[in-house]
Amino acid sequence: MRLRTIDDLGDLAGRRVFVRVDFNVPLIGGEVADDLRIRATLPTITELLERGAGLVLASHLGRPKGEVVDDRRMAPVARRLEELLGRPVEALEEVVGEAVEAACSSLRPGEVALLENLRFDRGEEANDSVFADRLAALADAYVDDAFGASHRAPASVVALAERLPAAAGRLLQREVEVLGRLRDDPEEPYVAVLGGAKVSDKLGAIEALVERVDALLIGGAMAFTFLAADGVEVGSSLVEPERFDEVRRARKLADERGVLIQLPEDVVVAPEASLDARRGTVRATEIPRGQMGLDIGPRTVEEFARTLADARTILWNGPMGVFELEPFSAGTRGVARAIAAAPAFSVVGGGDSLAAVRKEELEGAFDHLSTGGGASLEFLEGRELPGIAVLEEGP
């Protein structure tokens, strides 16, 4: 796979470039709470500015579903970007319209404007051609640096790339290179660590990974569906009975291929997920009724760490427990440290996993922090991502 990149756009001096970014970041009290996704696209933004372009940036934020929602406006994002860039960023108050067209047409080299939340307009998620035409009229070229949106086909990702000279930004380019390495040519032993609440969210990834990895370590609430499918009593832990057959099929395939599926040996339990809930640690096969598993236990962290220590390639996506509550965060932190200590090419993705890495100040210990989330997993499954396909070079 070869993507068209910024290098293929030629001379950008004096041109306006529409850059689709993924600034879908958490806001608390009207300020950006985690700027990882903003910082991740700075290399692309900086390079384009240094090459003399004026930039029209655009992103979605949350799920406003075509309505204007004040706490989903892009102004806080513009303020944070301005701080990181060290130059003004004009936060426009609309997505399209005469005022937007006037502001973008007057952009000079080195100037930056950020459109209002793309999802305030229903045309974005509907991939509306008229909406795409209006966006295309704002610029002379298009750069997609929003890997996290590449598995969907909104107007700003696919239709816009079909209307302007289009290329991948440096972040998107890096994501495809790194994840392509994991999908097509990983160094062995290759270990994948998956967590999160629902096994249904990751079944496709599990089935694809079983074909490639040497070991699959499963934590988070999704582990209880695996345990329950084996007839284990899991108390009131989150379980998806409708996925039992698929889970059993994945385990059978793993057995046939000699892939180790490692489930929790012990778990931290409580009657409910709350800060003051009375908690304890029990064997994963002996969860009392009325108790729910909310984190992997210390023995499991040790066993996972032993497997990870021998790995040469590691993929991690999803927390090991209810990471946002401190009493149930130790498992996720322990896995983060174990991966960081392993002599492996390590890739982490998913919001909670990335948050754990940042909280432990381990960013530098990982080879790649993927901003993709669901897009990362779909790419690894081998699916065609619309936002990637539209940027591929022809045969």
The set of catalytic residues is 37, 198, 351, 374
Are 123 and 131 contacting, i.e. CB atoms less than 8 angstroms apart? Answer: yes
Both tokens of 389, joined, read: 């396909």
Mention every residue, 6+ apart, whose C-beta is less than 8 A from residue 146: 20, 21, 22, 59, 157, 172, 387
Contacts of 204 (CB under 8 A, 6+ apart): 377, 378, 381, 383
DSSP letters, 123-171, are: HHHTT-HHHHHHHHTT-SEEEE--GGGTTS--IIIIIHHHHS-EEE-HH
Burial class (CB in 10 A: 0-12, 13-18, 19+), 291: buried
Q: Cis omega before residue 189 (within 30°)?
A: yes
The pair of three-digit structure tokens given for residue 383, joined into one six-digit string: 């699916």
Q: Which residues in the chain belong to E strands, given as ranges? A: 16-20, 27-28, 31-32, 54-58, 90-91, 112-114, 141-144, 166-168, 190-194, 215-218, 260-262, 266-270, 280-283, 292-296, 313-317, 345-349, 368-370
Phi/psi for 319 (5° steps) reads -75, 160
